Amino acid sequence: MFEFDQYLGFLAFLTILTIGFWLMIFLITFVIPYWIGGALIERMKEIREEKKAKRQALN
């Protein structure tokens, strides 16, 4: 059915496909939400500091 070279190519393809699948799952479930959450927290801190600076400038 398969020659040895074809078998190795097929195994390499399956390995790359599996690694890509689990990498996408990891990125979607952990990395991207962590990145977005951190960006939102940093933006909220900046907004708070801007409001604080405006209040101090008025006083």
- Determine, yes or no, domain membership for 10: yes
Owning domain of residue 27: 1-46
pLDDT in tens, the chain (59 residues): 779 889 999 999 999 999 999 999 999 999 999 999 999 999 999 999 999 999 999 87
> What pLDDT was estimated at residue 42?
98
> What pLDDT was estimated at residue 1?
74
> What pLDDT was estimated at residue 38?
97
> What pLDDT was estimated at residue 59?
78
Half-sphere exposure for 4 (CA within 13 Å, toward CB): 0
Domain count, the chain: 1
Phi, psi of 16 (to 5 degrees): -65, -40
Per-position DSSP letters for the chain, written without gaps between them: ---HHHHHHHHHHHHHHHHHHHHHHHIIIIIHHHHHHHHHHHHHHHHHHHHHHHHHHH-
